Chains A and B, each alone.
Chain A
Amino acid sequence: MNTTRAPFKLFLARWGWFVGLGALLILALVSYGRNPTSTEAVLASTVRQATPLVLGALCGLWGERSAVINIGIEGQMLLAAFIGFLVNVWTGNLLIAVLAGALTGALLGALLAFMSVTLKIDQIIGGTVINILALGLTGYFYQQGLTTQGKLQPIPLGPLADIPLIGQVLFNNPPITYLTILIVFISHYILFYTRWGLRTRAVGEHPRAADTLGINVYLMRYVNVIMGGALAGLAGAFLTLEAVGSFERAMTNGRGFVALAVMIFGKWTPLGSWGAALLFGFATAMQTQLQFMGVNIPHQFIGMLPYLLTIVVLAGFVGRARPPAADGVPYEKE
């Protein structure tokens, strides 16, 4: 029997990521040769810009893999950023502050899980409730003039940090950025290589089948949404405690929604999401760099860069992805 699938399409579907990665690598090397300082700056900034995005994407991913759509990531990040900041103001302890941020995200996750798993409210509405709640609370309790006692500082990893280019980009980062890279790989491992991951995916694809095998669908969904919430909380803590060092109203600035896009571009996989987040991060970093260098293009156009790049890459390289089959559907017994 004859197969008739366009070989080029097949090639792109399978190797698209590597082709893209390879091209970027070559580009990076060439540009490093010509201008080491700004290349380093752009790439280091890429990694940090990507941090909250990939954390948010992982939050969405853990929810959706178990069939709970979370559009409240923005709110989870925002409130966590705020609480983390306040805790730091009160205690002066950055570790406790970061934990408080993660805990805030987790609690909002529990709220979302309660609304969508137990009450079976429409999940989009549940997420919106969280976004509005976070916006309202942070707006109401926000006080001007509060200052923190420092923020998380980069920790160079010994001699690794001295490697040209890579050293500054990968091995001289503040703690949440390191942690995030670790979390990406741990998430990948859990999702695809452990019992928990298998059950999570089953619950997202065919909850009744999982139920008939003695798996507690509701419990799986609760835990995943809460753990995801903690990751979104960590992203919030990153913003106030690592990136900026202070809180401003609505400072998440849509990152929670971009994170969802990142998750989809990453085809609901942790590594894919990381790749997508880096791409977004890179475009954002380029945008800043271009404005900084005073390139003669209206800044509105430069501002479009992240989005344009996304569209081009998506259209060109990423094949069609399929969301979990039960995504967004509450589970009814009987």
Chain B
Amino acid sequence: MSETFVLEVRNITKRFPGVLANDRVNFTLRKGEIHTLLGENGAGKSTLMNIVYGLYSPDEGEFFIDGQPVDIKNPHDAIQQGIGMVHQHFMLVPVFTVLENIILGSEVTRGTSLDLTKAREQVNALSREYGLEVAPDAIVEDLPVGVQQRVEIVKALYRKVKILVLDEPTAVLTPQEAEDLFRIMRHLTERGVSIIFISHKLKEVLAISDRITVMRRGQVVGTTTPADTNESGLAAMMVGRQVVLQVDKGPAQPAEAVLTVKDLHVLDERHLDVVRGVSFAVHSGEILGIAGVQGNGQTELVEALTGLRKVESGSVTLDGAPVPPRDPRFLFERGMAHIPEDRHKHGLVLPYSIADNLALVAYYKPPFANGIQRNEQAIIENAVHLIEQYDIRTPGELLPAGNLSGGNQQKVIVARELSRAPRFLLANQPTRGLDVGSIEYIHKQIVAARDSGAAVLLISAELDEIMSLADRIAVMFHGEIVAIVEAGKVTKEQLGLMMTGTSAAEALA
């Protein structure tokens, strides 16, 4: 009588110590559809998907595949059932080649040896068929995230997936890369693959989904379709209140220059010149945005400004004092705050508690330390306060940061950096992976920091974020700043042109 779904889960409940991550969740997936899971940070989306993929075992609940009850106890079972997953934090072995990553666990062999030649042919055939370009012999850690993600998708296709879970795939992609991904997703659904898609970006959710299911605090709130709702409708459904999607800020009041960069040159790992003679100044009371397609030197620029990477030539001064090489403490002591691009690599110590992570930068100073001794009470109080203020969803301040949902990990970093009343704030993809409610809050905080006199350098792959937050926008292309423009006087299209190499004179004409 009832419809048969490719995948159906019934009454899934999952408890973590102190959290009910999934509370009697029901979810269905039709053949060939893109079904989006939407919800606040910590709503339980990744948990549900990890359960479907056999990584977590549910406390209660049942799975049905094509109407048949199945048991999924581990990823092996899930793979057998044709389920593939691209995780929120990629699951690639960094030192392996693309090919090795793809075949791992499903190797083709000839006799006792791996048959890499055959595997390479299969992978090449797959990438041709789906238009997913990957270089089989490249080492994964050398690849940009967009390409790494493609590798993840090929990995799933290689296992002949019928059901593909994409957990926040677009969080780390540039708009162009995201477009590419959507093209691939449509291509896959045409071939009968069914996709579960997780994203916080409402625009793309409305554009790509067939159905949308919204979760809040572990429960399913409801299911809708793009035709029946719009951005603010979705936002309200997720957060349970109206969300202001527009940043509301007054005009900037720029004063003296805080950070001055002159003719900066930086090399990357391969000793290639990736930042080539960059000069700019960030003033107190303004937000300077850097727009650019990922991989045009932004990462290396930031690493140089934060003392993580060697400056080849040129100068960086903070309030007139030259920034010494590789001395992050010098910077922090002078009021620099940094929201890093890669929260796992540079932002958090995952096994440490949230409280310790929140005290990480200033741990050696009062109030967090008395002489050489830690002041536990101050550390805890600080944490309790920030968890409340930034709405970090956690059962307690002593939970290891690694156990937080992706978005809540990001909030820990943002809370730590913004709460120090910075003189200079370097925000690199500050709202990556955050839900609309949290983005609204963090944007407000960044504007508040600006208004209290901080100089803010904002780097974001989201043109929308740059356009709505920045007062001036610098466009970076091939390691150079090709133009610096007033935010109000440029369109998205003009920025897009300059980001892809059209000269400023031409683009702004």
Contact = CB atoms under 8 A, between A and B. Distances in A.
A binds B: yes
Given A206-B94, A213-B91, 20 more contacts: A2-B273, A3-B271, A193-B113, A194-B113, A195-B107, A195-B114, A198-B114, A201-B96, A202-B93, A205-B95, A206-B92, A209-B93, A212-B91, A213-B75, A213-B104, A213-B105, A214-B76, A214-B105, A322-B95, A334-B55
A205 B105 contact: no
A5 interface: yes
A214 B79 contact: yes
6 contacts: A198-B114, A199-B105, A212-B55, A214-B75, A325-B95, A333-B55
A236 to B, nearest CB: 29
B100 interface: yes
Interface of B: 53, 55-56, 74-76, 79, 85, 87, 91-96, 100-101, 103-107, 109, 112-114, 267, 270-273
Interface string A1-12: 111110000000
Nearest to A324: B95
B272 A198 contact: no
A191 to B, nearest CB: 11
A188 interface: no
A2 B268 CA distance: 11
Contacts of B92: 206, 209
A3 B79 CA distance: 44
Nearest to B55: A212
Q: In the A-B complex, list the 5 residue pairs whose CB atoms are closest, starting with the nearest.
A: A213-B105, A214-B76, A209-B91, A195-B107, A1-B272
B68 to A, nearest CB: 20
Contacts of A210: 93, 104-105
Contacts, number: 75
A211 interface: yes
Majority SS at the chain B contact face: loop
Contacts of A1: 272-273
Contacts of A258: none
Nearest to B56: A334
A290 interface: no
A18 to B, nearest CB: 24
A161 interface: no
Given A1-B273, A334-B56, A195 B109 contact: yes
B75 A212 contact: yes
A37 to B, nearest CB: 43
Given A5-B271, A195-B114, A202 B104 contact: yes
B320 to A, nearest CB: 31
A2 B103 CA distance: 35
Interface string A316-332: 00000010010000000
Contacts of A198: 100, 103-104, 107, 114
Nearest to A5: B271
Contact of B75 (A2, A195, A211): A211
Contacts of B94: 205-206, 325
B104 A211 contact: no
A212 B112 contact: no
A2 B272 CA distance: 6
Contact of B53 (A199, A201, A212): A212
Interface in A164-212: 193-195, 198-199, 201-202, 205-206, 208-212
